[in-house]
């Protein structure tokens, strides 16, 4: 795909975020320049056993390293910035973003000792970054984190609008309104293509304003006389600000709990994004000296993460904080699909400890940061693109968003449905997919990046579902006499004391294999013997128990 053509061609290549939630990363390539938009992670799915995070595959970028000019970031959520440290290990490049976004990235790079490899370039809304043949203008949008922007990208073939994550909130907490006027001016000028957030395309109508959630939270907290603990995303600074104001109104002091909560609030305070004074805050050491009616705790753990502060409190594993009778726990977030059982388990344990738990299925204590259908239609009508490409969502979201675009007048042939790896090519008057590049997911497990693949995950699933059997044997190399064993140990397979006869029969199978091989060849081939033991034990366990454990024979000659 690198050959030059007679017509100038812009290539847009998504490396993540199309056909999935998270992992957002898109490349804009023109001749010898590549600019990256966002570089996010995805949290592991249920079958990704032991994986910490998932990041995009950078293979295409590594093959075109000399072309990579910059990274432009739309906002500071993990699914848009979480993979940046792994990118910076491979590329030393400038990163463009708004003040809060860059502050969050700076903190992340500092933790990885990578700050000296990048130049952080702060851009304000309605300002532009000139990068090679591109001009990226930042356009303010509303989202569940401050300083979010969409992008108007001037390219040699026309203007591209990339919405980033957005909603249209006419009463934003910080007073920074969605800049529909600037988007409209681009619509009047002429937009070649619109790449638009599809996350909430299945929801009809308009999103509720963040201020309405504040009213509900105020009413709930007003009537409580005990301690109130609110679990909220640490990045949702608008929600945090409202809770600080509510605490101040009702004479409560705010306790921050959880590493990410404390980090994000500190950064927002330093930048002036939060009205949060020292008089408003208390520490854990202050708790014994305050009546319960004067405590409001902000904590992490909205999705039941095992090591989060809320989870540790629910299971009485927190060293300094205990949930007790009279506490009210508010889960001010939505249940992310796949986390429902974990969250319900947390709720049950909180209730066992005597707390009252309020969540989104009981009261309207959360709103999304992503646009609903009517806002998505408005975006299309304001921008008036020639071509429309849905992004950020699972495949069904992309399909639904394409249909929505057609319903407001975009020609079906101009509504392009693409997935990760597609090479979408634009000229001044045409657009289409002209091939595919290698993409994928890279698993991060501890300090290992990419060393866990499909085979390792398959083995982990096998071990988790069927257990492990180890058969060990030591024989004399010269006489073939058995010096030790055969011993059979199991983990996650059967209780050895409950069914010793099964393991005894397994030992007999090993003896039979040794006798058979010696009778046939008068020699012991350890590799062949191990394979025969594995095969016969497998057949035996299937016949007796209908189970298929991982069988690991060890035959040692000395």
Residues 345, 384 within the same domain: no
Question: Is 197 assigned a catalytic role?
Answer: yes
Q: Could you tell me if residue 462 is inside a domain? A: no
**Could you tell me which of 12, 439, 435 has the C-alpha nearest to residue 195?**
12
At residue 545, the pLDDT reads 83
- Looking at residue 325, which CATH number applies to its domain? 3.40.50.10710
Residues 102, 188 within the same domain: yes
Which residue of the set 77, 143, 370, 397 is catalytic?
370
Q: CB within 8 A of 113, min separation 6: which ones? A: none
Q: Could you tell me if residue 1 is inside a domain? A: no
Residues 414, 475 within the same domain: no
Range of lowest pLDDT (32-46, 211-225, 377-391, 440-454): 440-454
At residue 129, the pLDDT reads 97
- Percentage of the chain lying above the pLDDT 70 cut: 92
Out of 309, 332, 358, pick the residue that ends a domain: 358
Out of 358, 377, 410, pick the residue that ends a domain: 358
- Percentage of the chain lying above the pLDDT 90 cut: 63
Residue 111 belongs to what domain range?
A: 10-205+368-449
Segment 373-417, tens digit of pLDDT: 999 999 999 999 999 999 999 999 999 999 999 999 999 999 999
- Does residue 95 have a pLDDT over 70? yes
Q: Could you tell me if residue 85 is inside a domain? A: yes
Number of domains, the chain: 3
Task: Calculate the alpha carbon distances from 234 to 12, 32, 104, 213, 302 in Å.
Answer: 32, 39, 12, 16, 10
Q: Could you tell me if residue 363 is inside a domain? A: no
Segment 229-280, tens digit of pLDDT: 999 999 999 999 999 999 999 999 999 998 899 999 999 999 999 999 999 9
CA distance 235 to 76: 8
Q: Could you tell me if residue 459 is inside a domain? A: no
Residues 553, 475 within the same domain: yes
At residue 144, the pLDDT reads 93
Out of 312, 330, 358, pick the residue that ends a domain: 358
At residue 109, the pLDDT reads 96
CA distance 438 to 57: 8
Residues 513, 540 within the same domain: yes
At residue 444, the pLDDT reads 79
Residues 516, 477 within the same domain: yes
Compute CA 79 distance to the chain's CA centroid, rounded to the nearest angstrom. Answer: 5
Residues 198, 214 within the same domain: no
Segment 115-133, tens digit of pLDDT: 999 999 999 999 999 999 9
Segment 271-295 mean pLDDT: 94
Question: Is 77 assigned a catalytic role?
Answer: no
Residues 43, 146 within the same domain: yes
Of all helices (H) and strands (E), which one includes residue 433? strand 431-436
Range of lowest pLDDT (328-332, 385-389, 461-465, 554-558): 461-465
Q: Could you tell me if residue 106 is inside a domain? A: yes
Residues 486, 551 within the same domain: yes
Residues 101, 190 within the same domain: yes
Comparison of pLDDT for 278 and 362, the residue scoring more: 278
pLDDT bucket at 321, cuts 50 / 70 / 90: confident
Which residue of the set 197, 327, 445, 536 is catalytic?
197
CA distance 69 to 316: 50
Comparison of pLDDT for 554 and 103, the residue scoring more: 103
CA distance 234 to 2: 42
- Does residue 6 have a pLDDT over 70? no
* pTM for the full predicted model: 0.84
3-class secondary structure, 544: helix
Q: Could you tell me if residue 552 is inside a domain? A: yes
Comparison of pLDDT for 109 and 442, the residue scoring more: 109
CA distance 57 to 364: 38
CA angle (56 as vertex; 54, 57 as ends), nearest 5: 120
**Could you tell me which of 430, 433, 402, 403 has the C-alpha nearest to residue 420?**
433
Comparison of pLDDT for 58 and 473, the residue scoring more: 58
Range of lowest pLDDT (137-151, 315-329, 455-469): 455-469
- Looking at residue 160, which CATH number applies to its domain? 3.60.15.10
Residues 45, 59 within the same domain: yes
- Does residue 5 have a pLDDT over 60? no
At residue 1, the pLDDT reads 38
- Does residue 338 have a pLDDT over 80? no
CA distance 310 to 329: 9
At residue 197, the pLDDT reads 97
- Does residue 301 have a pLDDT over 60? yes
- Does residue 209 have a pLDDT over 50? yes
At residue 182, the pLDDT reads 97
Residues 416, 471 within the same domain: no
Q: Could you tell me if residue 454 is inside a domain? A: no
- Does residue 519 have a pLDDT over 90? no
**Could you tell me which of 168, 80, 144, 151 has the C-alpha nearest to residue 379?**
168
């Amino acid at each position: 795909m690198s050959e030059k053509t007679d017509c100038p061609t812009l290539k847009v290549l998504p490396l993540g975020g199309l056909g999935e939630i998270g992992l957002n990363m898109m490349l804009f390539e023109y001749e010898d320049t590549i600019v990256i938009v966002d570089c996010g992670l995805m949290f592991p799915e249920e079958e990704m056993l032991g994986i910490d995070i998932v990041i995009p595959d950078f293979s295409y970028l590594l093959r075109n390293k000399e072309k990579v000019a910059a990274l432009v970031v739309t906002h500071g959520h993990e699914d848009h910035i979480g993979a940046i440290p792994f990118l910076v290990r491979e590329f030393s490049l400038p990163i463009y973003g708004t003040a809060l976004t860059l502050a969050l990235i700076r903190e992340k790079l500092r933790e990885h000792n990578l700050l000296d490899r990048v130049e952080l370039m702060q851009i304000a809304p309605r300002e532009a970054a000139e990068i090679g043949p591109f001009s990226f203008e930042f356009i303010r949008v509303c989202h569940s984190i401050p300083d979010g922007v969409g992008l108007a990208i001037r390219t040699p073939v026309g203007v591209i609008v990339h919405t980033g994550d957005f909603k249209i909130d006419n009463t934003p907490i910080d007073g920074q309104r969605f800049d529909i006027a600037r988007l409209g001016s681009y619509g009047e000028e002429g937009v070649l293509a619109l790449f638009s957030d599809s996350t909430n395309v299945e929801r009809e109508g308009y999103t509720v304003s963040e201020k309405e959630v504040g009213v509900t939270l105020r009413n709930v907290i007003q009537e409580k006389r005990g301690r109130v603990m609110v679990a909220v995303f640490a990045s949702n600074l608008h929600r945090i600000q409202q809770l600080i104001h509510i605490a101040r109104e009702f004479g409560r002091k705010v306790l921050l709990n959880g590493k990410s909560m404390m980090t994000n609030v500190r950064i927002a305070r330093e930048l002036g994004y939060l009205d949060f004074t020292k008089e408003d805050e208390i520490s854990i050491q202050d708790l014994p000296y305050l009546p319960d009616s004067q405590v409001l705790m902000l904590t992490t753990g909205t999705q039941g993460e095992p090591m989060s502060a809320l989870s540790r409190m629910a299971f009485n594993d927190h060293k300094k904080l205990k949930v007790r009778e009279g506490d009210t726990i508010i889960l001010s977030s939505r249940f992310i699909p796949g986390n429902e059982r974990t969250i319900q388990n947390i709720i049950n344990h909180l209730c066992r400890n005597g707390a009252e738990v309020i969540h989104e299925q009981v009261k309207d204590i959360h709103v999304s940061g992503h646009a609903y259908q009517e806002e998505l239609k408005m975006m299309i009508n304001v921008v008036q693109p020639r071509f429309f490409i849905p992004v950020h969502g699972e495949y069904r979201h992309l399909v639904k968003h394409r249909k929505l675009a057609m319903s407001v007048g975009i020609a079906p042939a101009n509504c392009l449905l693409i997935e990760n790896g597609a090479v979408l090519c634009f000229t001044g008057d045409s657009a289409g997919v002209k091939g595919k590049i290698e993409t994928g997911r890279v698993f991060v497990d501890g300090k290992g990046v990419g060393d866990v693949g499909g085979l390792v995950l398959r083995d982990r699933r096998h071990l988790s579902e069927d257990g492990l059997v180890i058969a060990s044997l030591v024989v004399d190399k010269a006489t073939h006499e058995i010096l030790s064993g055969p011993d059979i140990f199991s983990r996650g397979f059967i209780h050895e004391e409950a069914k010793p006869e099964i393991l005894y029969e397994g030992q007999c199978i090993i003896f039979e294999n040794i006798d058979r091989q010696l009778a046939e060849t008068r020699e012991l081939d350890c590799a062949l013997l191990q394979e025969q033991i594995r095969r016969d034990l497998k057949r035996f366990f299937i016949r007796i128990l209908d189970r298929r454990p991982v069988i690991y024979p060890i035959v040692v000659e000395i």
